[in-house]
Amino acid sequence: MATAPANNLPLFYKDLVPLSSVDHADFHARPLDSAAFLVDQHAVPLTSDEFVSACRFFPIVFSAGDNPVPLALMGLNEGVNTFVDTEGKLLNPVYVPAYIRRYPFLLARLNPDSEDLSLCFDPTSGAIGQFEEGDALFENGQPTQPVQAVLEFCKNFEEAGQRTGFFMEELKKADLLMDGEVAIQPEGSDKPYVYRGFQMVDENKLRELRGDVLRKMMQNGILGLIFAHLFSLQLMRDVFAEQVRAGKVPEILEVQTPAV
């Protein structure tokens, strides 16, 4: 969930420029008709705050490695997104993760020695520029109400990222994560497709947790988030079925689902 300076850009961002009342005094922000950056993206970072909303639409998994992050799977194979068309327009109404809604803005640390975050944007997005249409970013040298709203959204996203970090630490502390594997056997196939390369909660270890640990997880809301994650995994077969319908199933039967 952490933001990054321009030399280590996060997913979707091709460039980062600090928003300036001097350099961007006459800039406007306009809505994008489509999200082309989503077309080839199969997994999107998710905050723990979003699990309850997202679990109705996406499988929620955790990236591989020592520092996993939650991911909403929009496809099971790299380069496949079953929720958007070839132009990046949503095929059906779904919950849109905050990571996507935040683009092209984000709070970034411009000085690695400072804790201060500055509101930045991706100038390549096509959403911000010297347009006649759209919302003005500044008026009389001051940020307009839309910019204030964006800043508040980005601040809330960073705070959600911190809560997500706490959630992940609790999962690791309880040793609940295991390497994930899902086998899906399509109709007419004699062998299943096996997906790996992600992590998930180990239900057996969850059942074996001490009562005081479970009570704490119930009180701080973590247990509910775990169940949202586990319930969402059933959607993997739905996403696979959408890939089959779209003709986007690889010939290889064992697939590593790469992390973001």
Q: Convert the pLDDT of each residue in 213-244 to its tens digit.
A: 999 999 999 999 999 999 999 999 999 999 99
Q: Is the pLDDT of residue 246 over 80?
A: yes
Quickly count: other Cβ atoms within 10 Å of residue 57's Cβ: 20
User: Residue 175: is its pLDDT beyond 90?
Assistant: yes
What confidence tens digit (pLDDT) does each residue in 25-53 have?
Answer: 999 999 888 899 999 999 999 999 999 99
pLDDT value at 210 more than 50 = yes
Which candidate, 169, 123, 113, 173, places its Cα nearest to that of 20?
123
Query: Domain spans of the chain?
Result: 6-256
The rounded distance, in Å, linking the Cα atoms of 250 and 111 is 44
**Which of the four pLDDT bands, split at 50, 70 and 90, describes residue 6?**
very low
Q: Tens digits of per-residue pLDDT, 87-119?
A: 999 999 999 999 999 999 999 987 777 778 999
Query: What integer best gives the mean pLDDT of the chain?
Result: 91
- Contact indicator for 82, 246 with CB cutoff of 8 Å: yes
pLDDT exceeds 60 at position 151: yes
Query: For the chain, what's the residue count?
Result: 260
Percent of the chain with pLDDT over 70: 94
pLDDT at position 2 = 32
Instruction: Indicate the range of 38-42, 93-97, 158-162, 182-186 predicted with least confidence.
Output: 182-186
185: pLDDT strictly greater than 90: no
Q: What is the pTM of this model?
A: 0.90
DSSP secondary structure of the chain: -----GGGPPTT-S--EE--TTTTTT-EE---S--GGGTT--EEE--GGGHHHHTTTS-EEEESSSS--EEEES-SSTT--TTB-TTS-BSS--PPPHHHHHTTEEEE-SSTT----EEEE-TTSSSEES-SSSEESEETTEE-HHHHHHHHHHHHHHHHHHHHHHHHHHHHHTT-EEE--EEE--TT-SS-EEEESEEEE-HHHHHTS-HHHHHHHHHTTHHHHHHHHHHHGGGHHHHHHHHHHTT---S-SEEE----
pLDDT band at 3 (very low <50, low <70, confident <90, very high): very low
